[in-house]
Amino acid sequence: MILYGGKMEKYRLKFMLDYECNCLWGFDERTQNKYGYNIDDLTVLGLSEEAIKLNELVMKLYWTSLNPIYQNFPSFWSGEMHKYFQEKVIELYNKIKNEVGNLYEIILHETAKKIVEEKINIVQINKLLQDFVTDPINNISEKIYVHDKIKKEIIESYNEWKEKENNILINNGYK
């Protein structure tokens, strides 16, 4: 916090998800000058080790949401994985607010807000995913040529991801 015009004003942090970055960002110029744009060292904010580890998990999971074959293809995440991720993002956001919300104004950015507020239909997501993996040509919004080699690669990558996802969910007590 900093004294402005006789009153204490909190530094402003943005809670935002982006690939290969921590979830907290300097929201305004004053905060960016003190902590940087993307805040690399979350310990300087006074966050617990538990919150920092949860941030690392969320950021690692976020990166896996991208389709490994072609980023504009649908994610290989199941509906359960979407729900698990959403719960972890909400848990992280609330943990940060509880731990340092008295010191900083925490602003929920649109990327995170969408995840937090999304109504997840597990059955629908799983059906769309199966439709895509089964027949990628007719189940993508972007009409590109998908040849047999890519179809095979999609199936192999999906099966590989499915095993990883299952381990993530089981190891974190979600299944």
Torsion of CA 21, 25, 26, 28, to 10 degrees: 120
Taking 80 as the threshold, does the pLDDT of residue 97 lie above it? yes
pLDDT computed for residue 43 by the predictor? 92
pLDDT computed for residue 150 by the predictor? 78
| Tens-digit pLDDT profile for residues 155-164 | 899 999 999 9
Of 97 and 144, the structure prediction assigns the larger pLDDT to 97
pLDDT computed for residue 13 by the predictor? 95
For residues 25-42, give the mean pLDDT. 90
Q: pTM of this prediction?
A: 0.86
Taking 60 as the threshold, does the pLDDT of residue 75 lie above it? yes
Instruction: Find all residues with CB under 8 Å of 88, minimum gap 6, and list them.
Output: 54, 57, 58, 61
| Tens-digit pLDDT profile for residues 38-70 | 898 999 999 999 999 999 999 999 999 999 988
Q: Give Cα 9 to chain centroid, integer Å.
A: 29
Average pLDDT value over all residues in the chain: 88
Taking 80 as the threshold, does the pLDDT of residue 141 lie above it? no
On the CB side of 54, how many CA atoms lie within 13 Å of its CA? 19
Helices (H), the chain: 29-35, 49-64, 79-100, 110-117, 122-134, 148-171
pLDDT computed for residue 145 by the predictor? 56
Contact (Cβ atoms closer than 8 angstroms) between residue 27 and residue 9: no
On the CB side of 90, how many CA atoms lie within 13 Å of its CA? 11
